[in-house]
Amino acid sequence: MAVQMKGKSLATLNDLTREEIEQILKTSELLKLQLIRGQEHPVLKGKTLAMIFEKPSTRTRVSFEVGMWQLGGYALYLSSTDLQLGRGETIGDTARTLSRYVNGIMARVFAHQTILDLIEHSKVPVINGLSDFSHPCQGLADLFTVYEKKGRLEGLKLAYVGDGNNVAHSLIEGCSKVGMNIILACPKGYEPDSKVVSLGKKEAKKSGSEVKVTNDPKEAVKGADVIYTDVWASMGKEKEHSERVKILKPYQVNSRLVKGAKEDYIFMHCLPAHRGEEVTDEVADSKNSVIFDQAENRLHTQKALMALVM
Ligand code: CP
Ligand code: NVA
């Protein structure tokens, strides 16, 4: 039976049950198929989505905007500097006001607390389009992509190599819920948040999988089905870039490192990539790379999410 998700907000993947994640993936599959067949699906006809951006975006902005249009609705792009938010109006008042006009809010913010404040004061569902802590929409697209490529999620091994950042957090949450093993190789001091790891371990126990953190990239990729990396300096950390490049250099995903993975491993990256830093062209453009399918799947999974919660 379908799980009722109407009205639900999404700050992190921990807000979703395994059944809800599976429902989003199934709905994504259906919507993707309908799009390929040219079947219209205006299930959000007359609905509007406000999209608040504190940071730049290519994929998130375009996929939400196009997705909303394909669902028969309308999306408004709101740069935080153009809103009264940029002149000191509170998040609470912004959320209360927007709730009077729109049916959903998507926000890309610096501080994760801003997402939590939006959720607290909004009367309509709020979707996190990336915060410094979490990138749940990316995590959903990633699970869907792995499922499409491998035909299953349970029992697979995903190796995340690099900075233990927002994307890493969402992968820990997502993988542990659906029964995928995840091992993260990060330098000392750049490991994922310890609370995310311990909660992930608890979820993994329930789903029969494992969450592990190491400092050794070779150990992580050994026998992996999926190798995943992300930029070394996320948005907001630009000032630390040169220091991070030095520390994270041994964590580059290159042709030498990927030799340890399964022969049919897939390479994933949320994009944008800093080619030559966290990943070489050789790997990013190899036959194992699925990075643009992954980017495309942002569209299908977010449409599914919006259709279900709005
Ligand atoms: N992966 C992702 O969120 O990309 P954008 O920053 O382009 O939205
Ligand atoms: N970790 C990156 C992801 C970009 C989509 C960042 O936060 O900048």
Which string of DSSP letters, residue by residue, matches 163-185? ---HHHHHHHHHHHHHT-EEEEE
pTM of the predicted model as reported, rounded to 2 decimal places: 0.98
If you measure from the C-alpha of residue 244 to the centroid of ligand 2, how many angstroms do you get, rounded to a whole number? 15
Measure CA 245 to chain center.
23
- Phi–psi pair at 168, nearest 5 degrees: -60, -40
pLDDT category at 1 given cuts 50, 70, 90 is low
- According to CATH, the superfamily of the domain at 13-134+296-309 is Aspartate/ornithine carbamoyltransferase (3.40.50.1370)
Render pLDDT for 17-29 as a digit per residue (tens, 0 to 9). Answer: 999 999 999 999 9
Render pLDDT for 166-179 as a digit per residue (tens, 0 to 9). Answer: 999 999 999 999 99
- According to CATH, the superfamily of the domain at 138-292 is Aspartate/ornithine carbamoyltransferase (3.40.50.1370)
User: Could you give the residue range(s) of every CATH 3.40.50.1370 domain in the chain?
Assistant: 13-134+296-309, 138-292
Taking a C-beta distance cutoff of 8 angstroms, is the pair 157, 226 a contact? Answer: yes
Render pLDDT for 136-159 as a digit per residue (tens, 0 to 9). Answer: 999 999 999 999 999 999 999 999
Q: What percent of the chain has pLDDT over 70?
A: 100
Catalytic residues: 108, 135, 138, 230, 270, 298
Render pLDDT for 61-118 as a digit per residue (tens, 0 to 9). Answer: 999 999 999 999 999 999 998 899 989 999 999 999 999 999 999 999 999 999 999 9
Render pLDDT for 36-55 as a digit per residue (tens, 0 to 9). Answer: 999 999 999 999 999 999 99
Q: Is the CB of 59 under 6 A from ligand 1?
A: yes
